[in-house]
Amino acid sequence: MRYKLTLEYDGTGILGWQRQLDGPSAQENLETAIARFLGRTPLNREEYAAYKESKENDSSRHTDTFVAGRTDAGVHALAQVAHFDLDAEIDPFRLLQGLNHHLRSNDIAMSVLKAEKVSNDFHARFSAVGRGYVYKILNRRAFPALLKNRVWWVPCPLDVEKMREAASYLLGNHDFTSFRAAACQAKSPVRTLDRLDIVQTGEEIDFIVEARSFLHHQVRNMVGTLKMVGCGQIPPHDMVKILEAKDRRCSGPNAPSCGLYLNKVVY
Amino acid sequence: MRYKLTLEYDGTGILGWQRQLDGPSAQENLETAIARFLGRTPLNREEYAAYKESKENDSSRHTDTFVAGRTDAGVHALAQVAHFDLDAEIDPFRLLQGLNHHLRSNDIAMSVLKAEKVSNDFHARFSAVGRGYVYKILNRRAFPALLKNRVWWVPCPLDVEKMREAASYLLGNHDFTSFRAAACQAKSPVRTLDRLDIVQTGEEIDFIVEARSFLHHQVRNMVGTLKMVGCGQIPPHDMVKILEAKDRRCSGPNAPSCGLYLNKVVY
């Protein structure tokens, strides 16, 4: 039986989605809650590493989870999607309530928004046909007290119209090499950016981006470059040259992870 | 020289605005930053208690601050107003930047949004002619991961229309004894409630309240009672009886402090 979860989590203080030997992760947090829900003793980090190395895939010992987008350290999720298989048939509502009961007692803030039974050919990552992120900037003189770790604080006034013009050159099908992390494992640097809207609400500026998939760090590199346009350091039309250069050194710095939210996965 | 500050702070983990001997407070945090800005050694909790007891009011040793509304433990501020006097004339922008420099290195999240020079007859508390609060409820099945300590999580579905009807009976001039904390020090329980709007945005329900002043716990007691109306435990029109009873035992429980934000002070 395959189950699909929609998850909200705070990326602060974790090493990202993926399990790591040297610290907490969203995946570890979820898999620990699943183990507790099933009445098992959760694997600790060393036991999990040994289990993975043995390649035994013993579903009576551990339930593996798969996710739509592996978020980096500090990146938040408003609607991450994960799937996993269980031998038993469980009422999805009971699953949601049971997992949240165990998640609530953890230090890491994660909550199951929705639990569904899905067919066995559903895959959280490979079945996804669209992903959406929001990147939040707080644009004001004073640093954030209430939105600490929830936004990128930019004290210099940003010109939203200029950023919108620059953003328009990024829309559509391009080679995004200039906005790609060195560690990116994608085969092709070509992506189709379907949406890049910039919405200003008071002191907050939200960048709403959608594509079938993104390169590693693509959203944060685009926002880091757009912020330079907003500050007047890059003319909007230079975005065309930056794309054409196909060189990461031509774009702006990677915007901090704390402003980024995975907020939509389309199947 | 008198200075007025507009402050944002996170109420999580502090004992409220007012200084306490047994833990951190917003007032202590601000006064420590002012002392550092002036190049002084800040008074610790014991030294402050001794200073207050001595009634020396020595402005060369300590700068006293006064605030528009003394928030309780856990209550947040989006725009608290404080004033204090300094012997020297300081450029307000330098004051804002200097205080924020010292506040940023503190564990308690507080930020100065605005600093102004004001006349000597201005008083943050006594000159205020209006106060506004927002109370935030997150109304959904799953507990909040990203809005932890920022909202009151209410899993049962709330009927907003019923809450709006109940709220309408609270508007205007009433004896609010039924919504007043036992510890309330106000001379009269009569207040005029100028606004109580309920705004629903997705899963969030905001209660926007305004009055010249409020009784202790009045907003949280009103919201706690309105939530019972929203859950169907109290018919909306019973709000009239609850007001008329002038008895705290007739209204609902005090809503948790983490959903409350002081967001406006009018002079």
* Closest A-chain CA to B9: A145
Dist. CA A72–CA B199, nearest whole Å: 34
Dist. CA A67–CA A84, nearest whole Å: 9
Interface of A with B in 43-82 (CB under 8 A): 76, 78
Residue B115 in this model has a pLDDT that exceeds 80: yes
Per-residue pLDDT, A122: 98
Residue B42 identity (one-letter amino acid): P
Inspect the interface and report whether the beta carbons of B76 and A112 lie closer than 8 Å.
no
* Closest A-chain CA to B141: A113
Contacts B100 to A, Cβ<8 Å: 142-143
Among residues B262, B80, B133, B249, the alpha carbon closest in space to that of B180 is found at B249
Mean pLDDT of B175-198: 94
Per-residue pLDDT, A183: 85
Among residues A87, A261, A145, A207, the alpha carbon closest in space to that of B30 is found at A145
Under 8 Å between Cβ of A96 and B142: yes
Mean pLDDT of B20-30: 95
DSSP 8-state assignment for residue A258: G
Rounded percentage of chain B residues whose pLDDT exceeds 70 = 99
Rounded percentage of chain A residues whose pLDDT exceeds 70 = 99
Mean pLDDT of B13-34: 95
Q: Tens digits of per-residue pLDDT, A89-146?
A: 999 999 999 999 999 988 889 999 999 999 999 999 999 999 999 999 999 999 999 9
Inspect the interface and report whether the beta carbons of A142 and B10 lie closer than 8 Å.
no
Per-residue pLDDT, B52: 87
* pLDDT level of residue A5 (50, 70, 90 thresholds): very high
Residue A257 in this model has a pLDDT that exceeds 80: yes
Mean pLDDT of B233-238: 97
Which are the contacts of A94, defined by CB distance < 8 A and separation ≥ 6? none
DSSP 8-state assignment for residue A55: T
Positions of B marked active-site: 72
Interface test with chain B among A12, A143, A148, by most B beta carbons within 10 Å: A143
Token digits for B71? 């928030």
Under 8 Å between Cβ of A137 and A147: no
A108 vs chain B: nearest CA distance in angstroms? 8
Per-residue pLDDT, B55: 73
Residue A61 in this model has a pLDDT that exceeds 90: no
Q: Which domains does chain B have, with CATH numbers?
A: 2-118 (3.30.70.580), 130-266 (3.30.70.660)
Residue B147 in this model has a pLDDT that exceeds 80: yes
Residue found under tokens 């306490």: B20
Q: Tens digits of per-residue pLDDT, B77-113?
A: 999 999 999 998 999 999 999 999 999 988 889 999 9
Dist. CA B25–CA B43, nearest whole Å: 14
ipTM of predicted complex: 0.91
* Closest B-chain CA to A142: B113
Dist. CA A207–CA A113, nearest whole Å: 23
Dist. CA B61–CA B83, nearest whole Å: 17
Helix (H) or strand (E) holding B193: strand B190-201
Return the percent helix, strand and coil in chain B, to nearest 5: 30, 30, 45
Per-residue pLDDT, B102: 96
Q: What is the pTM of this model?
A: 0.94
Per-residue pLDDT, B220: 97
Dist. CA A152–CA A134, nearest whole Å: 12
Per-residue pLDDT, A116: 98
Q: DSSP assignment of A154-198, as one string?
A: --SPP-HHHHHHHHHTTSEEEE-GGG--TT---S--EEEEEEEEE
Per-residue pLDDT, B112: 98
Per-residue pLDDT, A174: 97
- Does residue B212 or residue A60 have the better pLDDT? B212
Interface test with chain A among B80, B113, B143, by most A beta carbons within 10 Å: B143
